[in-house]
Structure 1
Amino acid sequence: MSATPTRDGEIPLAHLRAADGGWPWPTEVRTVIERPGFSAALGNGGAVRALAEGRIVPSAFRMEVSSFTSLPPAFRRMVRGLEFDMCEMAISTYVCARARGVPITALPVFPMRGFHHGAIFVRRDAGIAAPKDLEGRSVGLDRGYTVTTGVWARGILSAHYGVDLARIDWVMAGDEHVADYRPPACVRRIADGATIRELLLRGDVAAAIGIDPAHPDIVPLIPNHQEIALGRFCTHDHYPINHLIVVRDTLLAERPEMALDLVNAFHEAKLLYLADLRAGAIREPDAADRRNETLLQIVTDPLPYGVPQNHAMLKELIRHAADQRIIDRIVPVESLFAPTTRAWGS
């Protein structure tokens, strides 16, 4: 008598009784089919917390999560060595890497966003009264030229304030995540090992982007940046994307169904996060949590996922990346995302 396994892999108990002749069959046998596990590098809070903690899991596979307090090292490990099957990544790093042939593809999951009008700082006594005053001066960049905060901040200077970015001497503190990317000629790297913050305080640069501003002599270039950013959110849905999720191309080719499974899992995790924000259940809220709490008073979901819901924001980021010579040409928004996910949520 042959035993036919059930759909979940268990052999029915009726087939496990002793056969003719008294063979001592065991009382029960189980065939355990484990879901395959894949490595993931994620942040440890916000909209991905429930996945990082295992409270939400994809339906068809296990995520073996490495949780990072600081994600830039994970970005670098992914674009240089494909060390993870999937990774939370800065959107500008992904766009740059994909343009240079790194075999990864994004999912339309955007767990981290930010307002960047307030990311540009000057010294209080530097005599910089308006963004246009930066032309012909040096501006420091924390880390590399392709860092997402820098891309958005430069885009704001150019698109909203008419600053000619080519007339600024850009000074960066680190190298690029994408090893073979070369920034334009107007970008140079610090030679003496000082930090960008130190250069700003001693007057070697007129402004700095993305630094820690905790010093009495450092002030925002745009004093009313919070009011302006919130106004653009209310009138233009302008909430710039910082992070998305990428997956190795070989894995998506082997398991194309994984893409939608992942998007759905990340969406469930985000819904839990938003519910916690509404309930005031975040124990130690950070700046992003407090910002999202504020935006929840205006919209039901300040972190929409999906390509159609974010098309304008993605198109703007791509345009900034091309204008700033991070990529060679403007690419279609949809080309950046796994085909099975492009219509998700539409």
Structure 2
Amino acid sequence: MPDLSLQTAMVSYGHTKPLIDGTVHSDRINLVHVPVSPIPTAFRRMVRGLEYDVSEMAMSTYLCALAHHKQITAFPAFVLRRFEHDEIYYNTKSGIESPADLIGRKVGLRSYTFTPGVWARGILHDAYGVNSRDVTWVLYGDEHVSEYKAPDNVIPALPDSDMVADLLSGKIDAAIRPGKVNSSDIKPLIPNADEAAQDYFLQTGIYPISHAMVVKNELLKRHPWIADELYSMFKSGKERYLKYLDTANDLDSEDQAISRMKQIIGPDPLPYGIESNRKSLQAFMDFNVQQGIIPESFKWEDIFTPV
């Protein structure tokens, strides 16, 4: 039995499940899985109270946390990523006909710093010429990093407001991830979003990263070898999963989605490490600075543990 047990909060994805069920294990570390649902609750607890030893973490929350001197460090196991062109919905009665029509409009979202919103705003800027400063962003929740102060064009929704209800009524013109909406008046802003996302990837090489893994700095100082051991475990879990995708005949819907990504991304649809993700990481860093999530860029090598 390993001497070091680490309280670990993460989702049981196909590639992390082997770490949770013990199929992938270490002689030096015992990962004690702490179920947290929904997983953003863990991000909040980690950046506010360091409640876990190891935690899954949204990328923009991580950058924002570092800007406010939170004592965590990531290792580059990117456990969740997806194309983000399908995140934005609009009310067809608003007069919006294209992404460029968001300029001067009100767009709802859960929080300004949440990662899908950062990616969506970055894509709007890069591909459609919509500067985030030219949109009023209406928040229906708060930020994980409580010290964060949003730009002046970010405003709170009225107390007890509901994003879907406000979208349907026209109080906001569009929304990022509004949730389920049963109305023909609400449609995706970017038509043929899957095709548009694939084209964006082929043109830019950017494959949006959503979540990485972080460790408390206190543990890294006491046990500097932890990062290498954890990264090795996560790589082993992913390698087992990729072999399973190649051989199994009973893939569920999530497995099928990852398997389809291989046709676009290549043999490894879940690349780990800094170098193989540099274009995506740099784009994301730039988006966070442009949007006022962080005041200035970090060097990725400075904010990921060397592995």
Could you say which TM-score interval applies, normalised by the shorter chain? over 0.9
Measure, in 1, the Cα distance between the counterparts of 2:8 and 2:246.
28
Measure, in 2, the Cα distance between the counterparts of 1:55 and 1:90.
26
Partner of 2:262: 296
1:334 and 2:301 aligned: yes
CA contact (8 A) 1:88 1:243 kept: yes
Partner of 1:72: 40
Deviates more, 1:198-207 or 1:49-58: 49-58
1:250 and 2:188 aligned: no
Per-residue CA deviation, residues 29-49 of structure 1 (Å, 9 max, x unaligned), is xxxx74221111011223212
Q: Give the C-alpha shift of residue 65 in structure 1.
A: 1.0
Partner of 2:286: 319
Which structure is higher in RCO with an 8 Å CA cutoff and minimum separation 6? 2
Measure, in 2, the Cα distance between the counterparts of 1:158 and 1:235.
15
Q: TM-score, normalised by structure 2?
A: 0.95
Partner of 1:27: none
Amino acid at match of 1:258: I
Task: After TM superposition, list the pairs within 5 Å mapping 1:134-153 onto structure 2.
Answer: 134-141=102-109, 143-153=110-120
Measure, in 2, the Cα distance between the counterparts of 1:46 and 1:199.
36
- CA RMSD after TM alignment: 1.6
Match of 2:192 among 221, 224, 231: 224
1:130 and 2:98 aligned: yes
Partner of 2:51: 83
CA contact (8 A) 2:107 2:136 kept: yes
Deviates more, 1:114-123 or 1:186-195: 186-195
Measure, in 2, the Cα distance between the counterparts of 1:140 and 1:133.
15
- The structure-2 alpha-carbon separation of the partners of 1:285 and 1:69, relative to structure 1 and needing over 3 Å to count, comes to farther
Match of 2:173 among 167, 181, 206: 206
Amino acid at match of 2:221: A
Instruction: Name structure 1 gaps, 5 residues minimum.
Output: 1-32, 342-346
Measure, in 2, the Cα distance between the counterparts of 1:282 and 1:112.
22
Amino acid at match of 1:291: A
Q: Considering only CA atoms, is the larger Rg found in Structure 1 or Structure 2?
A: 1
Measure, in 2, the Cα distance between the counterparts of 1:201 and 1:58.
51
Partner of 2:67: 99
Amino acid at match of 2:260: T
Task: After TM superposition, list the pairs within 5 Å mapping 1:173-212 onto structure 2.
Answer: 173-212=140-179
Per-residue CA deviation, residues 252-276 of structure 1 (Å, 9 max, x unaligned), is 1111111111111001111222223
CA contact (8 A) 1:59 1:261 kept: no
Partner of 2:130: 163
Identical-residue share of aligned pairs (%): 38
Q: Give the C-alpha shift of residue 243 in structure 1.
A: 0.3
Measure, in 2, the Cα distance between the counterparts of 1:264 and 1:291.
25
Amino acid at match of 2:118: V
Q: TM-score, normalised by structure 1?
A: 0.84
CA contact (8 A) 2:74 2:304 kept: yes
Q: Give the C-alpha shift of residue 192 in structure 1.
A: 3.1
Measure, in 2, the Cα distance between the counterparts of 1:131 and 1:177.
28
